[in-house]
Amino acid sequence: MSNDVDSDYLNNQFLVAMPSLEDENFNHSVTLLCEHTDQGALGLIINRPLQLKLTEMLDQMSLPRGALDQDSIIYWGGPVSPERGFVIHEGAGQWDSTMAVGGNLYITTSRDILKAIGEGSGPRHYVVALGYAGWGAGQLETEILSNSWLNTPVDSAILFRTPAAERWKLATRLLGVDVTQLGGQAGHA
């Protein structure tokens, strides 16, 4: 049996940070893994709300926002390119710059989807994130083997309908793990 991870295996998965992962960028984070190849991986952290509201961002971009709730949250997607926006959504739609993640999930980086969301004609379920998490070739696999991350299939209820503060705990439950019992060290057979 090989330690290599199939390059398609982790697409459309949650990466759940183990309690032993002390990096402040990722401690207790849940990351939607959007792309994983032999060249590296890209993910969006989905449980770190920012102080900036989506209505404020749309105002800064001179986009309509009449259809939005004042409390619409934007998430910190990761430390790489924090000025770059990503919209995670269900359904392909007709947006520019859309990438399929898997299942019915897509990531769109173009302005047109934000305009549609502000007008009320965008996707019903979405998460807006600024920045992303990136791993170089083999880096994520090494981190998984050193027990920094566990992965589980995406649960759209956690992604779209669960408050940010509860996402890590609920994602660990998908693993069948009691987070209060997780230690810092684990072995590999």
In a domain, 182, yes or no: no
In a domain, 122, yes or no: yes
Number of domains in the chain: 1
Cα–Cα–Cα angle for 39, 44, 50, rounded to 5 degrees: 145
In a domain, 180, yes or no: no
pLDDT at residue 92, as a whole number: 87
Per-residue model confidence as pLDDT tens digits over 37-80: 889 999 999 999 999 999 999 999 999 998 887 778 999 999 99
Collapsing DSSP to helix, strand or coil, 27 comes out as coil
Per-residue model confidence as pLDDT tens digits over 140-169: 999 989 889 989 999 999 999 999 999 999
Helices (H) and strands (E) in the chain, counts: 5, 10
In a domain, 8, yes or no: no
Closest CA to 128 of 145, 144, 143, 113: 113
The pTM assigned to this predicted structure is: 0.88
Domain region containing 89: 13-161
CATH number of the domain encompassing residue 145: 3.40.1740.10
Per-residue model confidence as pLDDT tens digits over 95-143: 999 999 988 999 999 999 999 999 999 999 999 999 999 999 999 999 9
